[in-house]
Amino acid sequence: MQYSSTSALAQTALAAARPAILVTVDQARGSTPREAGARMLVTAQEVAGTIGGGRLEFDAIDMARRMLAGEESDARIDVPLGPEIGQCCGGRVSLTFWRMDAASLIRLQAEAEAENAESPAVFIFGAGHTGRALAQALAPLPLAIALIDSRPDTLKGLPEGIRCIAAAMPETLIDDAPAGSAFVVMTHDHSLDFLITAAALGRKDAAYVGMIGSATKRERFRRHLAEDGREAEIERLTLPIGGSALRDKRPAVIAAMTVAEIATCLLNDHEEKLPRSLAAAGVGCHSDRSRDERGEGQG
């Protein structure tokens, strides 16, 4: 089964005059895998979006394709999420099925693109091993990812959806970033790291400011800020990125841990919705936690 983005599949279906069914979670009661409003577009060959996976989604796809093979234009079903379908969530969902015409597909595509345009922004400064790993790890999430480097050759070979920017003075991009953005700094030059991070901390509306490095680098940066009378801003800096629970310095591991931090800040309502173990660990945005040294290898 092939999965794609809702916007892309709507565009493909429209261009090929391919019939499609939109499946929507109309109501969600109790414990359910997705919330009301979650939707999935189904054609004979592809699926975009998800209503929660498992047997619920499998059966919904099957029903949508039976509708595509027949004449039925709309339907509604109520599904208890219990032993009958092999899902033990315990809640109940109502699903609507709607055959999409050209106008509906155009509207759906526009809605999906508008949602994408409103996605929180993440600016990654530095396209070295860890920067590229982080950009690729973030790419599947509902975030607008920009990877910035002064060396154009480092920006090649990345997936679509990652905006690559070659900038001789990357720090100048900070001022134009949307409010609520995340800034992650990991360039090839510590002096440039300091310049960019100081500029990012100057954005009081930033959701997250992180820099790769060790406790030693954090202390050097604290002194750098102190020279400008900005020492208190160090409390809003996440350094090391990804926390210190693991001392693994492989780029993909650092990227995975950092994705969790960024997602917590940009996609959550912060500590009141965090799992208890994360809330207790102090995961936060513009971190005010004191961190143990991960080790010199992060930067």
Give 57-77 pLDDT, tens digit per residue.
999 999 999 999 988 888 999
The answer to whether residues 156 and 103 belong to one domain is no
Amino acid 286: pLDDT: 58
Domain end position, chosen among 82, 116, 150: 116
The answer to whether residues 28 and 142 belong to one domain is no
Amino acid 169: pLDDT: 94
Alpha-carbon span 240 to 210, nearest angstrom: 7
Amino acid 82: pLDDT: 75
The answer to whether residues 6 and 71 belong to one domain is yes
Whole-number Cα distances in Å, 243 to 6, 36, 192, 247: 34, 34, 22, 9
pLDDT band at 249 (very low <50, low <70, confident <90, very high): confident
The answer to whether residues 96 and 136 belong to one domain is no
The answer to whether residues 36 and 157 belong to one domain is no
Whether the per-residue pLDDT at 85 is higher than 90: the answer is no
Whether the per-residue pLDDT at 80 is higher than 90: the answer is no
The answer to whether residues 124 and 210 belong to one domain is yes
Alpha-carbon span 137 to 18, nearest angstrom: 32
Domain end position, chosen among 94, 116, 138: 116
Closest CA to 18 of 74, 68, 61, 75: 68
The answer to whether residues 141 and 249 belong to one domain is yes
The answer to whether residues 93 and 142 belong to one domain is no
* Total tally of structural domains belonging to the chain: 2
The answer to whether residues 87 and 135 belong to one domain is no
Whether the per-residue pLDDT at 283 is higher than 90: the answer is no
Whether the per-residue pLDDT at 266 is higher than 50: the answer is yes
Amino acid 179: pLDDT: 92
Q: Could you give the 3-state DSSP secondary structure of residue 185?
A: strand
Domain span at residue 104? 2-116
**What's the CATH number where 191 sits?**
3.40.50.720
Q: What pTM did the predictor assign?
A: 0.74
Domain end position, chosen among 116, 149, 175: 116
Amino acid 298: pLDDT: 56
The answer to whether residues 128 and 228 belong to one domain is yes
The answer to whether residues 178 and 44 belong to one domain is no
CB distance 34 to 94 below 8 Å: no
Closest CA to 110 of 5, 10, 25: 10
Give me the mean pLDDT over the 35-64 stretch: 90
The answer to whether residues 237 and 195 belong to one domain is yes
